[in-house]
Amino acid sequence: MREVVFDTETTGIQVSEGHRMVEIGCIELINRVETGRTFHAYFNPERPMPPEAQAVHGLSDAFLAGQQLFRDACEELLDFLEDSPLVAHNAAFDFAFLNFELGECGRLHVPRSRMIDTLALSRTKFPGAKHSLDAMCARFGVDRSHRIKHGALLDAQLLSQCYVELTGGRQIGLGLAEAPADKGPATTINYDITRPVRPPRPHAASPEELERHARFLAQLTDPVWLMGTTAAA
């Protein structure tokens, strides 16, 4: 089964307020395993970048001014997405921006029936816990040490690992080590574990011990091993 995990960066939160997508990163999964195929692009939003948004992802007006418009990469992106299910964290946000940009290009929206929201999955599986991407990475042991700022492709890569864990999982960091290089024939070590055989120690009671034991038993009243004997007699 083919799935595409994706993430976007934008100029703001609401499409209705005129905000635009400035970056998209996509990761291809086949049967929940990354294939190595990715799609990544930056876009000129044709509007200023608010300082608060730039603080999140670090994408400046000067950098984005030299990037392509979304419509210039639209067909390549759609070719990568195909008709696969699309996985995103808080997917309604990313779908809103993706579908807005597609609509501006005269293309059909991606139906929400293809949407898989890892935020909803996390809330269902871990109620009451934190559900940010950072929190999920910490929960599943996904290394995010290189995540200084948000980035669409990096976040999609982190999310793909978390998605696998949310949907069954694999042990991260568990792999098959390479066999060691041939270092010649193995050396057999023989250990000498022989030891002298000692004769068994005597363990029978002495006559004195037997006498003391008899005197002790004579002092007992109604011992359990005699219960019922008198009645039977």
Q: pLDDT value at position 205? A: 80
Angstrom distance (rounded) from CA 226 to CA 74: 98
**Tens-place pLDDT, residues 183-219:** 445 444 454 545 566 676 667 788 888 888 888 888 8
Q: Which of 57, 109, 150, 203 is catalytic?
A: 150
Angstrom distance (rounded) from CA 181 to CA 95: 50
Backbone angles phi, psi at 159, to 5 degrees: -65, -35
The residue ranges of every structural domain in the chain are: 2-166
- Told to judge if 146 belongs to the known catalytic residues of this protein, a careful annotator would answer no
pLDDT at 112 over 80: yes
pLDDT at 230 over 50: yes
Burial track 192-218 (b if 16+ CB lie within 10 A, e otherwise): eeeeeeeeeeeeeeeeeeeeeeeeeee
Contacts for 154 with CB less than 8 Å, ≥ 6 apart: 25, 146, 147
Instruction: Express as a percent the part of the chain with pLDDT over 90.
Output: 68
Top-level CATH class of 2-166?
alpha beta
Which run of H or of E encompasses 137? helix 133-140
Q: pLDDT value at position 218? A: 83
Q: How confident is the model over 80-103, as a mean pLDDT?
A: 97
**Tens-place pLDDT, residues 18-40:** 999 999 999 999 999 999 999 99
pLDDT at 95 over 90: yes
Angstrom distance (rounded) from CA 85 to CA 5: 9
CB 55 within 8 A of CB 33: no
